[in-house]
Structure 1
Amino acid sequence: MSYAIETVNVCKYFGALKANDDISIGVEKGTVHAICGENGAGKSTLMNVLYGLYQPTAGVIKINEEVVHLKNPKDAIERGIGMVHQHFMLIQNLTIAENIVLGQETGTKLFLDRKKAIKEVEELCEKYNLHVDPKARVDEITVGMQQRVEILKALYRGVDLLILDEPTAVLAPQEIEELFDNIRLLVSKGKTVIIITHKLNEVLEISNRISVLRLGKLIGTVNTNEVDESKLTQMMVGRDVVLGGRARSKTMKKDEVLLVENLSATKGPHKVLDGINIDVKSGEIVGIAGIDGNGQSELIEIISGLFKHYSGEVLVNGENIKKKSVRDIRSHGLGYIPEDRHRDGLVLDYTVAENMILGQHYHAPFAKNYFLNFNEISTFADKNIKDFDIRTMSRESLASTLSGGNQQKIILARETCNKPKFILASQPTRGLDVGAIEFVHNTLVEARNNEQGILLISFELDEILALCDRIYVFHMGKVVGTLTKDEFDIEEIGKMMLGLKGVGVNG
């Protein structure tokens, strides 16, 4: 058996933390090898070792059966290893050709030979059937096209092994299929691909073999055709997992907890929202489907009270929020699970208990006459730590010391335990492992069953389809489709997300 790359008893320790513990994996040449595992399982650490960002504490790496020492990514690239990170490393105001040749520019030290660069990129596109416009600026192209540029950038450097970190995280279904076709073509031309993803259905579709990590250890490597999602989940978390919520009670939709009428907004020269009309009633989960950058962030900022420069009407629990502060909106029955838990959801240098009362810290029972009631805060925190199964040493632990899943549980506890009438949930499972995703889904469904209304904004279309009763599809700041559950069709929704079908779109 010929391996393109192999880890032999690789360990990577950070102090007492064993991020990778005696991992031996062989990646066969000309195959797609998936690496799966929960958050903190050691996937990213292992890939950073393979790409030269980290050096192993123990063990060795072999490339084409030769032991190598990768001191940095430059060493890895010279050995034929490329990596496309989940967050793209492109310079937005440069052209595609300029980004691809950056660091290996054509021409002289002082002048870039743009014609030659464009010609070389065009030849590369033709060879790998990855077509782009070399003259287009990166900030003018779609997210899916940017990913294609990242792959071309690696291929331009002559890599034989490509590591893809969560490559489908922000893609529409059609773009995912296109990416998989491109991966298959790369493999047919002799390239080897390692893919890191938490989407098990995609793992089963694209990979040849799968290695599963748990708590820094290798649980096993299996042939893809010998396992299913249930088996992989058991390997990853040690038990069965049910996504989409275990129980969906039949609820009667009653009060209108969100009403958005003819909402338009502009940022700089761009119209980011254009005549939006949506509503959410109690006892339902309503989803916003769309590719990132199509107005979702601006809608969230407006509903949460952070952005006031808009036209139209926004009513939360029957009250117009135009002149209300963030505190006023939240105090009248809004629970908010933000997109970025570090930036907007937590104060990482505060304790678990302190984070648990943010937004409620100024009133009873947690405060009186400007003084905090520490007994009430402790009791409240301990109850939520137990109810939400937050894995922490104590309520006094800093939020920064917890895993991503447990940090998200702090936010979930804080924003849902008082049963607000309306919950605004933005990317609630981003970066979470399958066990934590299950918990979030169950929490949202339970809130729905308790007659709360939820607006769910997620780039995970499978999540939208599993949880929602209705869906609005966004494209270029407009609602291009409105569907009820019996109308859900992943291919049709994907076309709407890409602007190929829907309101005001021909075809």
Structure 2
Amino acid sequence: MTVVLEVRGITKKYPGVVANDGIDLDLREGEIHCLLGENGAGKSTLMNIIYGLSSPDSGEIRLKGKPINLRSPKDAIELGIGMVHQHFMLIPVFTVTENIMLGAEEVRGMVLDRRKVSARVRELSKEYGLDVDPDARVEDLPVGAQQRVEIIKALYRNCQVLILDEPTAVLTPQETDELLVVLKGLIKKGVSVLFITHKLREVLEVADRITVMRGGRVVASAKPEESDEHSLAALMVGRDVTLTVEKTEAKPKDEVLVVKDLSVEGRHAGMDEVRSVSFSVRAGEILGIAGVQGNGQTELIEAITGLRRPGRGSVSLLGKDITAATSRALIEQGISHVPEDRHRHGLVLSYSIADNMVLCTYDKAPFATRGVMQDDAIAENARKAVKDFDVRTPGITTPASALSGGNQQKVIIARELGRPLKLLVVNQPTRGVDVGSIERIHKELVAVRDRGAAVLLVSAELDEILALSDRIAVMYRGQIVSTVAAGQVTRAQLGAWMAGSRAQSEGSTVEVTA
């Protein structure tokens, strides 16, 4: 099989860290080569070098046997190399069509031919099952839809080498299955794919070859037919990893969060994204909300956490009405929130790790005394959190923007779990996080439950919902169509309900208690 892309001896250093240390890797024509590794292992750095976003300190890149010099992504695109990034490279105020045609503009005379590009976007959306409105503004789209725009953008450019950096991190299981089918179709046409993912099941399903990185180096190569999830996880982390969640039976007590008849308007006036939703979460239990991206989960959580005002209904915490409370007031009342969009709502990217760790408590002892911030206490807090949650960073003064996505998530988790809380709201807590960190985050969420707090979990990962939840609510088109005890439903049933089968067959909510 012909080698399409080669990297030889690629080394890249940043202050205090060697991101890539003499990396050798090749990609063959018409194959899917999966790259595995922990957060901070150097995978994204290597892909950014191949795509021209960064220059190596040493080493060589060859395309079809010839050395290439990539000064920018434009060079890579012209050579047939495309990339879907873990963090979106989209302009929020532009439409989907404008983002996709940016850098590859179609013109009719002296005017941009948006209509032609829009038609092509619709064709790609239909062909690959990627539901995207070409005329929508990117800033109005949920996270999952923005990721689909990135995928279409790469497909639009007809690249022959496609780099996917955690492309399924924001997709539901059904959407992921559809994407994997797309990838198999692409390689049959001669496209070669470099696929970065933390999801071991995906690797075993689609990979032709597997390379494992750890600490900036290639530490192992594996064949999918000779591997399993446990062996790959151990290679990634360098130790045995528990892939199942260990927890005792829940002992729920009084209701902590009560949501009654809540409706929340979307970004378009007069259209409710959440419609008459009612549920409760008790102390000492985890309620998981499952649903396909875009069925109202984002708006529901934003209304509960003070980021969006509901149109109707009420939200109460321990019997106190908090429907109109601000996010700051909710923090003061003991609500912690791990948001879906960590860049927009979870971090101040220009701030250091230390400062991000105290965003909710910077004005309280020991981090402030009579209105003056105490740098030593803030630094000590950050050092402890970085160690406890294994945040891979050169130091606590490193800006959050310099961390990998998984390490950014660990900073948020460490902050939100590091203070007394009555209710923990977590939206996609392990998105883009490696298997070792997922193990730790899951243990922490169970520990929060066992300490007597209420936990509201939203996740597109059905395995995560099934493993962590004591009760499961399924959202479809802005409504909760079923609530069941976790042990009374299968993965297949949940997937079907998420697609609307229960709502269509029964037409009403079904409540099953443990």
The equivalent residue for 1:249 is 248
SS at structure 2 position matched to 1:502: helix
| 2:57 is the counterpart of 1:57 | yes
Alignment deviations for residues 175-228 of structure 1 (CA, whole Å, 9 cap, x no partner): 222221221111122221111111111111111101111121111222221211
Residue 137 of structure 1 is aligned with which of 113, 135, 138? 135
TM-score normalised according to structure 1 size: 0.84
The equivalent residue for 1:184 is 184
The equivalent residue for 2:206 is 206
Residue 272 of structure 2 aligns with an amino acid whose one-letter code is: K
The equivalent residue for 1:231 is 231
The 1:450/1:177 distance shift into structure 2, 3 A limit, reads same
The 1:298/1:150 distance shift into structure 2, 3 A limit, reads closer
SS at structure 1 position matched to 2:441: helix
Provide the rounded CA distance (Å) in 1 between the counterparts of 2:405 and 2:274.
Answer: 31
CA apart distance, 1:292:
3.4
How many correspondences in the alignment?
503
The 1:18/1:309 distance shift into structure 2, 3 A limit, reads same
CA apart distance, 1:256:
0.5
Provide the rounded CA distance (Å) in 2 between the counterparts of 1:95 and 1:191.
Answer: 24
CA apart distance, 1:275:
0.5
CA apart distance, 1:425:
1.6
SS at structure 1 position matched to 2:251: coil
Provide the rounded CA distance (Å) in 2 between the counterparts of 1:349 and 1:362.
Answer: 20
Residue 256 of structure 1 aligns with an amino acid whose one-letter code is: E
| 2:266 is the counterpart of 1:300 | no
CA contact (8 A) 1:169 1:459 kept: no
Residue 258 of structure 2 aligns with an amino acid whose one-letter code is: L
The equivalent residue for 2:511 is none
Q: 1:329-478 residue pairs with structure 2 within 5 A?
A: 329-347=330-348, 355-363=356-364, 370=371, 388=389, 408-478=409-479
CA contact (8 A) 1:169 1:460 kept: no
The equivalent residue for 1:220 is 220
The 1:206/1:284 distance shift into structure 2, 3 A limit, reads same
CA contact (8 A) 2:32 2:192 kept: yes
TM-score normalised according to structure 2 size: 0.83
SS at structure 2 position matched to 1:305: coil
SS at structure 2 position matched to 1:293: coil
SS at structure 2 position matched to 1:432: coil
Provide the rounded CA distance (Å) in 1 between the counterparts of 2:142 and 2:413.
Answer: 32
CA apart distance, 1:142:
9.3
Alignment deviations for residues 120-154 of structure 1 (CA, whole Å, 9 cap, x no partner): 7799899xx54789995356999878766655554
CA apart distance, 1:60:
1.1
CA contact (8 A) 1:336 1:425 kept: yes
CA apart distance, 1:441:
0.8
SS at structure 1 position matched to 2:219: strand
The equivalent residue for 2:275 is 274
Residue 262 of structure 1 aligns with an amino acid whose one-letter code is: D
CA contact (8 A) 1:317 1:333 kept: no
Provide the rounded CA distance (Å) in 2 between the counterparts of 1:150 and 1:387.
Answer: 34
The 1:151/1:390 distance shift into structure 2, 3 A limit, reads closer
Provide the rounded CA distance (Å) in 1 between the counterparts of 2:65 and 2:454.
Answer: 57
Gapped runs of 5+ residues in structure 1?
Answer: none
Provide the rounded CA distance (Å) in 2 between the counterparts of 1:396 and 1:72.
Answer: 29
SS at structure 1 position matched to 2:424: strand
Structure number with larger C-alpha Rg: 1
SS at structure 2 position matched to 1:259: strand
SS at structure 1 position matched to 2:503: coil
The 1:408/1:311 distance shift into structure 2, 3 A limit, reads same
The equivalent residue for 1:283 is 284
The 1:253/1:221 distance shift into structure 2, 3 A limit, reads same
Gapped runs of 5+ residues in structure 2?
Answer: 509-514
| 2:246 is the counterpart of 1:259 | no
Alignment deviations for residues 50-72 of structure 1 (CA, whole Å, 9 cap, x no partner): 12222222111111222222222
Alignment deviations for residues 251-291 of structure 1 (CA, whole Å, 9 cap, x no partner): 32111111101001224413121111121111211112223
Residue 171 of structure 1 aligns with an amino acid whose one-letter code is: L
The equivalent residue for 1:196 is 196
Provide the rounded CA distance (Å) in 2 between the counterparts of 1:351 and 1:276.
Answer: 39
Identical pairs, percent: 44
CA apart distance, 1:36:
1.2
Q: Which moved more, 1:463-472 or 1:368-377?
A: 368-377
Residue 432 of structure 2 aligns with an amino acid whose one-letter code is: G
Residue 66 of structure 1 aligns with an amino acid whose one-letter code is: K
CA contact (8 A) 2:39 2:392 kept: no
Provide the rounded CA distance (Å) in 2 between the counterparts of 1:25 and 1:163.
Answer: 13
Provide the rounded CA distance (Å) in 2 between the counterparts of 1:3 and 1:357.
Answer: 49
The 1:235/1:370 distance shift into structure 2, 3 A limit, reads same
Q: Which moved more, 1:37-46 or 1:494-503?
A: 494-503
CA apart distance, 1:23:
0.8
CA apart distance, 1:3:
0.8
Provide the rounded CA distance (Å) in 1 between the counterparts of 2:95 and 2:244.
Answer: 41
The equivalent residue for 1:310 is 311
SS at structure 2 position matched to 1:479: strand
SS at structure 1 position matched to 2:248: coil
The 1:443/1:72 distance shift into structure 2, 3 A limit, reads same
Provide the rounded CA distance (Å) in 1 between the counterparts of 2:409 and 2:146.
Answer: 29
